[in-house]
């Protein structure tokens, strides 16, 4: 259906015959480009003369389609792919055990699909647990650009969700990341992507803060780098001390952000 619609919009003939010789009239359509391997093979068959279009493009792909609707994160499940979570899946089983532990009737209409929903929720919040995280971070940090700028660069209000490793309850994170470059800068969206990758797993906020700073410092080798995370922990808001208005602030500083008071204060004022 996507191919038919796009063929009309772009005035390109729709066909399933890959033997066509009019390569300048061919539009290759797919739902998602991930690694880009499939699209690369197809386009090479036509000597790179065809146009390509996808619904979704992942930010780490090395293949650039001619047209795409949106850029998405790492975990994508299309409706036509979802035929129910396999019951042997450990997260599905965990959902079943929770229902049993709460003494609820698993056959009740409200709980029949709860194990499936639970599994999908955990996979979404903890999406970094289901990818090669080191490889993804390496890909994100590989997108750098030469620059003569030597002033502070700060990206504020990066928001994403993680999970408390102690109670398995969600944590809302708001991040501020800054650095002073040395000959090269990182794509701004990649800073947000790095934060999301590090946070989207069961991890201590303190550790996530340190990891983000270390990754930027080790790859960019800037004059200095600073990271501030503000966390809203549901494990503190909904249970125990029940502090609904709390905010947990953690910071990690490197280089001149730590050693030069003027630079440190400037960053902390921006981040605050």
- 121-180, pLDDT tens digit by residue? 999 999 999 989 999 999 999 989 999 999 999 999 999 999 999 999 999 999 999 999
| 169-218 confidence digits (pLDDT tens) | 999 999 999 999 999 999 999 999 999 999 999 999 999 999 999 999 99
User: In whole numbers, what is the pLDDT of the chain averaged over residues?
Assistant: 87
Question: In the 8-state DSSP scheme, what is residue 242?
Answer: -
Helix (H, G, I), strand (E, B) or coil at 62: coil
- The answer to whether 119 touches 130, Cβ cutoff 8 Å, is no
- The answer to whether 251 touches 209, Cβ cutoff 8 Å, is yes
pTM: 0.71
- Cross-strand pairs, 188: none
């Amino acid at each position: 259906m996507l191919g038919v619609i796009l063929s009309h919009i772009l005035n390109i003939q729709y066909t399933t015959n890959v033997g066509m010789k009019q390569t300048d009239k061919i539009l290759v359509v797919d739902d998602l480009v991930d690694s880009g391997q499939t699209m690369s093979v197809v386009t090479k068959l036509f000597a790179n003369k065809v146009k390509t279009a996808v619904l979704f493009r992942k930010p780490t792909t090395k293949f650039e389609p001619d047209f795409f609707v949106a850029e998405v994160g790492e975990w994508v499940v299309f409706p036509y792919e979802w035929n129910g979570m396999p019951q042997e899946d450990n997260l599905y089983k965990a959902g079943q055990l929770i229902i049993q532990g709460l003494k609820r009737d698993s056959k009740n209409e409200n709980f029949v699909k709860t194990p499936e929903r639970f599994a999908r929720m955990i996979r979404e919040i903890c999406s970094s647990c289901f990818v090669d995280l080191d490889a993804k971070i390496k890909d994100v940090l590989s997108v750098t650009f030469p620059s003569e700028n030597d002033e502070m660069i700060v990206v504020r209000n990066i928001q994403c969700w993680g999970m408390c490793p102690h109670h398995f309850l969600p944590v809302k994170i708001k991040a501020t990341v800054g650095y002073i470059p040395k000959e090269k800068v990182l794509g701004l969206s990649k800073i947000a992507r790095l934060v999301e990758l590090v946070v989207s797993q069961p991890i201590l906020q303190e550790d996530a803060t340190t990891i983000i700073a270390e990754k930027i410092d080790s790859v960019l080798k800037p004059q200095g780098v600073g990271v501030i995370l503000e966390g809203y922990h549901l494990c503190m808001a909904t249970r125990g001390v029940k502090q609904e208005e709390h905010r947990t602030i953690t910071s990690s500083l490197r280089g001149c952000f730590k050693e030069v008071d003027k630079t440190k204060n400037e960053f902390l004022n921006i981040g605050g």
